[in-house]
Amino acid sequence: MKVFIYTLGCKVNEVDSELYAQEMRLLGAETTTTLTEADAVIVNSCSVTNRAQAQSLQFARRALRERPGAPVYLTGCGAALLNLTRTGAPVGVTVVAMGDRAEVARLVVGSGDTVQTAARWVDGCIQRAGPRNRVDVRVQEGCDNMCTYCVVPFVRGARLESKAIDVAVDEVMGLAAAGVKEVVLTGTEIGKYGRTPLALEEHAREEVPDMLPVLLDSMLWALEAAGLPTRVRVSSLNPDAITEALVSQFANHAALCPQLHLPLQSGSDAVLQRMRRPYASKSLLDSVQRLRADDPSFALTTDVIVGFPGETEQDLQATLDVIRLAAFAKVHVFPYSPRPFTPAAREDHQVSAGVAKDRLHRVLEAAEQTGMAFARRFIGRDVTIVSEKSSLGEVEGYSEHYLWTEGHVCGNKMLERDNFVVVHVEGCHFDGDRVVLSGSAAT
């Protein structure tokens, strides 16, 4: 049996899809990258924006058309939102609730096999690399920030839960021993790693321990002690998670990639307050300063929402100012999208689509400027990539600073994929929505 898995959205969804594939292999099925040969289709959906939800359902309909007779399963946040809004899926599509994720593999394969699969997400460990040579390792689930524009706590859950340190370290050590060159620690709100609702209640008047640095220190010392070269990347953190204890981990461990995704959303404190974000613009800029105090080339990427209800021209200017001051390597910008159950969707003073589109282009222009200025810092320096694409005379991959890098290979040689390759950077250019470094690869 061959199963096609289509994944939209965040890294947490990517982890779920990889676990589905892993469990289906245990049950005797295999995955395919060709839709037309699939015996079953899983659409692991996203609902963070109207567009993402529509794309999820659009692909489910496509699968029904192109593989008539093959069962189609809708999982993920988009499926959860259909259930919450009591909206029907396309006829012929089976909706799998978020709470039933552990049963997806058995449901698809139709197996009553006694093979043990993880009953809860904290018990699920990825054992080998999938199609990508970077492996996402989920260490946390749940977000209780309740931002006024965000539907994620409703569909994925607001209850905070974390994978135990020893379990997370063992998972990464297993991947490293299997030859994986880079792991990315991810979660719904990874900055709250180690926190639970009970812990927050019991210690409401005490300082909550900062457990993410403890996890990183344990993991990185274990890799170093074993002599394994795998590098570790942390995905996305809010500014309030950038503590001195966390910053020290980057100074203490060379295998910890000097890059973070630091969501901005808006540079206007008035807008941030209406969004119910847990920081002000100065807090973000202070976090940037702490991260770059020892390493001025520490790479930062971000998210920006334009057209949030009530956003003014002055608010947009504040956002542009923070983007330039933070010198982001990349900015993911998207127009505000009203979501069910969220307070922002009910606000007055909704910004028109035309104004939001104009502001989006202005943010993209600023992002290109800051991205190119940041990339130029690496000209004349060596970076190390994990080779993802390789052809005669060319090798490509992400550097430790998460900059896509193209290396020219002397003698028209073809280097192996999934290896560390040193590239001497000689130039940079902008391609699509990202900067690209280019130079000569060492052989």
The domains found in the chain, sorted by start residue, are 2-109 (3.40.50.12160), 125-255 (3.30.750.210), 258-378 (3.30.750.200), 379-441 (2.40.50)
Name which of 176, 137, 180, 128 is nearest 386 in CA terms. 180
Residue 270 — pLDDT band, cuts 50, 70, 90?
A: very high
Average predicted confidence (pLDDT) for the chain: 92
Q: How many residues can be counted in the chain?
A: 443
What's residue 193's pLDDT? 96
Question: Which residue type occupies 75?
Answer: T
In order of 19, 197, 416, the CA distances from 143 in angstroms are: 21, 11, 40
* 162 Cβ contact partners less than 8 Å away, ≥ 6 residues apart: 122, 139, 140, 141, 187, 192, 193, 194, 195, 196, 211
pLDDT > 70? residue 401? yes
Q: Which residues pair with 382 in a beta bridge?
A: 424
Please answer whether residues 41 and 104 qualify as being in contact, where contact means their C-beta atoms are separated by less than 8 angstroms: no
The model's confidence at residue 127, banded by pLDDT at 50, 70 and 90, is confident
What is the pLDDT at residue 205? Answer: 41
Question: Nearest 5°: CA angle at 239, between 206 and 434?
Answer: 160
Which pLDDT belongs to residue 255?
Answer: 97
Q: How far apart are CA 89 and CA 82, in angstroms?
A: 7
Residue 208: per-residue pLDDT: 62
pLDDT at 375 over 80: yes
State the pLDDT confidence band at 118, using cuts at 50, 70 and 90: low
pLDDT at 196: 75
Residue 144 has pLDDT above 50, yes or no: yes
- Cα atoms found within 13 Å of the Cα of residue 90, Cβ hemisphere only: 20
Regarding predicted confidence, which is higher, 204 or 28?
28
Nearest to 330 by CA among 218, 428, 225: 428
Q: Give yes or no for a contact between 247 and 286, defined as CB atoms under 8 angstroms apart.
A: no
Average pLDDT over residues 342-347: 95
pLDDT bracket for residue 263 (50, 70, 90) = very high
Residue 325 pLDDT class (50, 70, 90 cuts): very high
Confidence of residue 195 (pLDDT cuts 50, 70, 90): confident
Q: Residue 201: pLDDT above 60?
A: no
pLDDT at 431 over 50: yes
With contact defined as beta carbons under 8 Å apart, do 186 and 137 qualify? yes
* Phi, psi of 437, deg, nearest 5: -90, 150
pLDDT value at 202 more than 60: no
Q: 95: pLDDT confidence band, cut at 50, 70 and 90?
A: very high
Q: What per-residue confidence (pLDDT) applies to 259?
A: 98
Dihedral sign (CA 310, 316, 317, 318):
positive
Low-confidence winner among 5-14, 104-113, 116-125, 304-313 (lowest mean pLDDT): 116-125
Q: In this predicted structure, which of 196-205, 289-298, 431-440 has the lowest mean pLDDT?
A: 196-205
Mean pLDDT for 239-253 is: 95
The percent of residues above 90 in pLDDT, for the chain, comes to 84
